[in-house]
């Protein structure tokens, strides 16, 4: 009985250490991530079950408007990525947030916040909502190691 339960339920820990690098495009313009590295622990259930999502909203992105219409893009580097990671911008004070962005190692930068106007208040912010998940079939971090993402946000002209 214990062996059947062991086969049917796999618990795993996927620690996604999100080290955020910030790039600046225009001189004197900057972005800053508040909240530091994010660590998320995922546990999955039985085979054929739904994804078990874990959310983290402890980080925020502060950015300064450019002198031109601009946008912020996002991408990740995660060698040997095994699990799912999604990021969304909520409570955006300047610009329009894209739908939630799935971060996949090696993918080109994806629009994250668009249409940041050049007028109005200079400073803007948003809450970063990370969602991590894994399916039963994706295995566990004990066997596959943890995913470590280096997430990069870039502000640029639109």
pLDDT for residue 41 is more than 50: yes
- Average pLDDT rounded to a whole number, residues 138-153: 82
Which of residues 141 and 7 earns the better pLDDT score? 141
Tokens of 10: 């796999």
How is residue 155 written in tokens?
Answer: 């502000």
Query: Per-residue pLDDT for 46 more than 70?
Result: no
Q: Which two tokens stand for residue 52?
A: 């078990």
Q: Which domain holds residue 82?
A: 2-157
Question: What one-character DSSP code corresponds to residue 46?
Answer: B
More confidently predicted of 52 and 106: 106
What pLDDT is stored for residue 54 in this prediction? 86
Give the residue-averaged pLDDT of 91-114: 95
For 75, how many CA atoms within 13 A lie in the half-sphere containing its CB? 12
pLDDT of residue 83: 86
pLDDT greater than 50 at residue 19 = no
CA dist 137 to 10, 14, 51, 82, 107, Å?
10, 14, 10, 11, 23
| The predicted structure's pLDDT at residue 43 | 64
Contact 84, 133 (CB under 8 A): yes
CA dihedral 27, 91, 59, 151 (to 10 degrees): -60
- Answer whether 0.85 is exceeded by the pTM: no
Q: Which of 39-43, 133-137, 152-156 has the highest mean pLDDT?
A: 152-156
| Domain total of the chain | 1
CB neighbour list of residue 128: distance below 8 Å, 6 or more residues apart: 33, 35, 57, 59, 60, 61, 87, 88, 89
Structure confidence by residue, pLDDT tens digits, 49-101: 677 788 999 999 999 988 889 999 999 999 988 888 999 999 999 999 999 99
On the question of pLDDT at 18 being above 80, the answer is no
Q: What is the DSSP letter of 26?
A: S
pLDDT score of 28: 43
């Amino acid at each position: 009985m214990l062996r059947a339960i062991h086969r049917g339920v796999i618990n795993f820990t996927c620690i996604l250490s999100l080290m955020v690098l910030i790039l600046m495009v225009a001189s004197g313009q900057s972005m800053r991530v508040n909240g530091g590295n994010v660590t998320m622990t995922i546990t999955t259930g039985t085979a054929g079950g739904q994804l078990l999502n874990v959310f983290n909203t402890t980080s925020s992105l502060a950015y300064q408007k450019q002198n031109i219409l601009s946008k912020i893009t996002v991408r990740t580097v995660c060698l040997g990525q095994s699990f799912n990671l999604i990021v969304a911008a909520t409570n955006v004070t300047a610009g329009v947030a894209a739908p939630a962005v799935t971060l996949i190692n090696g993918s080109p930068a994806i629009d994250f916040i668009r249409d940041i106007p050049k007028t109005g208040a200079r400073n803007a912010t948003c809450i970063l909502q990370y969602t991590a998940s894994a399916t039963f079939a994706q295995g566990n971090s004990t066997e596959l190691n943890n995913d470590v993402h280096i997430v990069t946000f870039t502000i640029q002209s639109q």
